[in-house]
Amino acid sequence: MRINKLFPIICAIICLGIPFSQAVQLSDKDSGQIARVVGFLLSQTHFKRAALDDEISKQFLRKYMESLDYSRMVFLKSDFDEFSKKYGTLLDNLTKRGNVSPAFEIHKRYITRLKTSHSWLEEIINKEFNFSLDETFTPDRTKSNWPKDEEDAKNLWGKRVKYEVLGNRLSKRRSVEALKAKTDGNEEIKKTDGTPVKLYNIKEEKEKILRRYERFLRVRTDMDSGDVLQYYLTALSNGYDPHSDYFSPREAENFEINNIKLSLTGIGARLQWDDGYTKLIELVPGGPAIKSKKLKPGDRITAVAQGDKGEPVDVFEMELDKVVDKIRGEKGTIVRLTIIPADAADDSETKEVSLIRDKIKLTDSLAKGQVVDYPDMSRLGVIDLPQFYENCARDVSIILDRFKKEKVNGIVLDLRRNGGGLLPEAVKLAGLFIEEGPMVQVIDSRQRKQILKDNDAKIGYNGPMIVLVGKLSASASEIVAAALQDYGRAVVVGSQSTHGKGTVQTVMPLTNWVRIKDPGKLKLTISKFYRIAGGTTQKQGVKPDLILPNPYDYMDIGEAKLPNSLAADHTDPLNYRRLNLVKDYVETLSSKSTDRIKKDQDFSYILEDIETLKKRLKDKSLSLNEFKRLKEKDEDKAKRDNRKKERKTRGSTEETIYDVTIKMIQKNIALGEDLEEEEKPIRLKEENDEEEENDEEEEGPKLDPHLRETLHILQDYIQLLDSDKQIARKLNG
C-alpha cells in the first residue's frame, strides 16, 4: 500500500489554517452542491462510515462557531444557545439538501459581534492601565464558555488588551530593578557613545496593538463566500475526525503550489494558524529551522523581520499565507523570527532567531549514522532517520554495512523526530532486523484487511538493538517501533507514548462529483493501522519498554489531545514468530536506568522543568501584575544562567563520536577503503560544496540527555545478552 504521494510530501512542509490570496466567490447553488457532495463522501467513504446525523450536526455547529471565534470572546452565549436551538440537529438535513444558508447567517452574526467588540478597543487601549493590581487573565480560552452578555465580553476584551500591553512591556527584557527605577512605562538605555535609545514607548505599543486588531477586523470582514465555505465544511469534516478537511478552490491551490515553494526556498517548517499565532508544528529535516537548533515544534511566531536590520513586522492575527510570504524569500537572505518558545512561562517570554533561507537538499533529509566510542566499553552505532523517504531502507542498510566494518556491537535507531512518510519504506526498514513476516495490518472503511509483510529473508543486522521514540514519532515510525516491539526484536525506549496517529488520509478532487469549474478538494481518513499483535497505534501510540522523563509528555501534543480523534480499538492478531529478545531483560534495564537518572544532573533539570510545566498547565491563568511577572522572569533567567554555568564546569564527555553519512560511505567505497584491520575508525569528513558555508561550532555535548541515557541502556543490554550467552555455552559444554 502506498499513501497518496501528494499529501505526505506537502503535509511535511506546512498546513494552512486560514489562507487566501485571491477572492473566490461561489454562488449559493454552487456552495450547496459542494456541501452536499462533501457530506455524502464523508458519510460513505470516511473510515467511520458514520451517517451524517443529528450527533454530527451538533459537533458541526459547535466546531464552526469555534473556528470563527477560536478565543470565545466575540460570540455571546446567547448566540450559541440561539443557533443550537435553531440548527443544532438540522445542519445534517440542510447539508444533504445542499442548503448552506446557516454558514452565512452565523458568519454575519460573527461580523456584527466583532464590529461591536472593535468599537470598544480604542477606549480600552487608550486608558491608563494599572499594572499593580492583582488581576489575572487566561489567554487560552478554547475550553471556556462564551461571555454571557456584552458587559462580560467588554470586560474580557479589556483584560485581553491589558495582557497584550503588559506582554509587550515584559518582552523588552525589563527587570524588577528597572521597574523600581522607572514606573512611567517608558524605558531607555545608553549606548557606549552615551546616546539614549528608547527600548519601550507605551503609546507606540498601544498603537501597534490597535493596528493589529484593525487588520484582523478587515481580514474577517473581507471574507468571501469561498472563505466562509472553507470554514463551514472543514467544521463538518472535523466532526468525523481531526485529519479530515475541506479545501476550497483557493485553499487547494495554496496547499499544492505555494507550500512546495516554501519548502524549496524558505526555513523548512510546517506551520499552522493557532489562536492568532503562526505555530511551528514540525521542522523539515535539513532545513534552516532544524539546523539552527534554536527552534522546536510548539514555538509561536509573533514577528518577522528581513535582513540584519529590518524592522520586525507584527504577525499576530495575520493570515497564515501572508506570514508565509514574509518568511519565504531568496536563497542566502536572512529572515529574523521573533518567537514565543513552546516551553515559555508566558507569552511575554520571546526571543529572536536569525535564519538564512536555503533550498532544502535531499541529502539533508537522508538517514545519518554515528559511531560512538567509549573507554573500556562496547562501540555503539546510532542511526538517525528523520523521515521515511524513497529508498530510506536501502540507505539504512548501507549504514548498517558500514557499522559492521566498524565492529559496532549494538545500535540505536533514533525515530524521535520522525513524523512518518512512505509506508512501504517503513515495512522494508523493519524487515532489515528480522528474517521475514508481517509488519502491519491496514483496514479500510469497509473492514477490508490488507497485511503488509517483509518477504525478504535477508537480515541487515541481528545484534542488540534499541528503538528510541518520542512524542513526535508518528505514523510510519510508530509502525516500525510497534512491529519490532511485537516481535520482541528491539527494546523500545522513549517518551510515555508516541504521537498516536494510526490513520491514513487521501485527498480527493471533487470535480468528479460537482460540475463546476473548481469545487475544491476533500481530505479524509480512509484507513487505520493495526499492529500485528492486534492492537492499534491510533490514539494510544506505542508505549516504550523503558520510559525516559520528557516535558513533551505533559504538553498538548499527540492524537489523544485532538477532538474527535478515532478510537483506539483492536483486531485479530496475526501469526508470527516472536524472537523474545527483550522481555526477560526489561526489569533489570529499567532498574539500572532509573538509578542513573536519579544521579544525572541533566535529568534533574528535566524533572524540574516537568514539575514547573505541570503547575502551569494546572492553572493557565496569568497575572496582570507587572511586579509579579517580572519577578517570575528574573527567576527563570537566573535558573537558566545557573544551568549554563554548571554545564560549563563539567569535564569532557567520556564518549568519542564519529559521523557517518551516505555520501561519506559511498565516497569511501569508491576509493576502495578497507577498515577491517583498523583498530579505530577514521573520523569521516565531508567537504562542503563551494557555495555552502561551514556551520557554526556546536555548543555543549553532542549527545542530548535522552540519547546519552539510551546508549547506556544499550551497554547494559549488551552485557546482559553476553552474560546469558556465556551461561548457555557452559550449560551446553
pLDDT in tens, 354-364: 988 887 665 56
- Which one of 43, 57, 378, 475 is the catalytic residue? 475
Would you say residue 272 has pLDDT above 60?
A: yes
Tell me what percent of the residues of the chain surpass a pLDDT of 70: 83
pLDDT of residue 24: 57
pLDDT of residue 259: 38
pLDDT of residue 448: 95
Q: Are strands 437-444 and 521-530 parallel, antiparallel or unpaired?
A: antiparallel
Domain coordinates in residue numbering, the chain: 6-249, 256-360, 365-504+526-619+703-722
On whether the CB atoms of residues 372 and 382 are closer than 8 A, the answer is yes
Would you say residue 178 has pLDDT above 70?
A: no
User: Tens of pLDDT along 304-333?
Assistant: 989 888 888 888 777 777 788 888 888 888
- Which one of 299, 486, 545, 602 is the catalytic residue? 486
CATH node for 365-504+526-619+703-722:
3.90.226.10
- Which one of 48, 326, 368, 501 is the catalytic residue? 501
Q: Are strands 380-384 and 410-414 parallel, antiparallel or unpaired?
A: parallel
What CATH number does domain 256-360 carry, 3.40.605.10, 1.25.40.10, 2.30.42.10, 2.60.120.10?
A: 2.30.42.10
User: Tens of pLDDT along 51-94?
Assistant: 999 999 999 999 999 999 989 999 999 999 999 999 999 999 99
Give the confidence band of 22 by pLDDT, cuts at 50, 70, 90: very low
Query: Rounded to an integer, what distance in angstroms lies between the CA atom of residue 226 and that of residue 97?
Result: 19
Query: Rounded to an integer, what distance in angstroms lies between the CA atom of residue 522 and that of residue 50?
Result: 17
Question: pTM to 2 decimals?
Answer: 0.83
Give the cell for residue 38. 462533501
Query: Rounded to an integer, what distance in angstroms lies between the CA atom of residue 299 and that of residue 281?
Result: 8
Query: What is the three-class DSSP state of 42?
Result: helix
Tell me what percent of the residues of the chain surpass a pLDDT of 90: 56
On whether the CB atoms of residues 258 and 320 are closer than 8 A, the answer is no
- What are the φ and ψ backbone dihedral angles of 249, each rounded to 5 degrees? -55, -45
Ranked by mean pLDDT, which of 157-161, 274-278, 419-423 comes out on top?
Answer: 157-161
Overall average pLDDT of the 428-433 stretch: 98
User: Tens of pLDDT along 577-591?
Assistant: 999 999 999 999 999
The per-residue pLDDT of the chain, averaged, comes to 84
Give the cell for residue 181. 527605577
**Which residues have C-beta within 8 Å of that of residue 168, sequence separation ≥ 6?**
200, 205, 208, 209, 348
Burial call 119-149: b when 16+ CB within 10 Å, e when fewer: eebeebbeeebebeeebebebebeeeebbee
Give the confidence band of 146 by pLDDT, cuts at 50, 70, 90: very high
475 in catalytic set: yes
Query: Rounded to an integer, what distance in angstroms lies between the CA atom of residue 15 and that of residue 254?
Result: 10
Burial call 635-655: b when 16+ CB within 10 Å, e when fewer: eeeeeeeeeeeeeeeeeeeeb
More confident residue, 411 or 301: 411
pLDDT of residue 298: 82
Give the confidence band of 458 by pLDDT, cuts at 50, 70, 90: very high
Query: Rounded to an integer, what distance in angstroms lies between the CA atom of residue 242 and that of residue 231?
Result: 14
pLDDT of residue 206: 85
- CA 569 to chain centroid: 25
Overall average pLDDT of the 213-217 stretch: 88
Give the cell for residue 420. 512518518
Q: Are strands 449-454 and 503-509 parallel, antiparallel or unpaired?
A: unpaired
Ranked by mean pLDDT, which of 141-145, 282-286, 623-627, 633-637 comes out on top?
Answer: 623-627
List, as one string, the DSSP characters of 83-115. Answer: HHHHHTTTHHHHHHTT--HHHHHHHHHHHHHHH
**Which residues have C-beta within 8 Å of that of residue 654, sequence separation ≥ 6?**
374, 375
pLDDT of residue 320: 75
**Which residues have C-beta within 8 Å of that of residue 549, sequence separation ≥ 6?**
597, 603, 606, 607, 610
Overall average pLDDT of the 226-242 stretch: 94
Would you say residue 692 has pLDDT above 70?
A: no
On whether the CB atoms of residues 159 and 120 are closer than 8 A, the answer is no
Q: Are strands 300-306 and 313-314 parallel, antiparallel or unpaired?
A: antiparallel
**Which residues have C-beta within 8 Å of that of residue 627, sequence separation ≥ 6?**
131, 132, 176, 179
486 in catalytic set: yes
Query: What is the three-class DSSP state of 131?
Result: coil
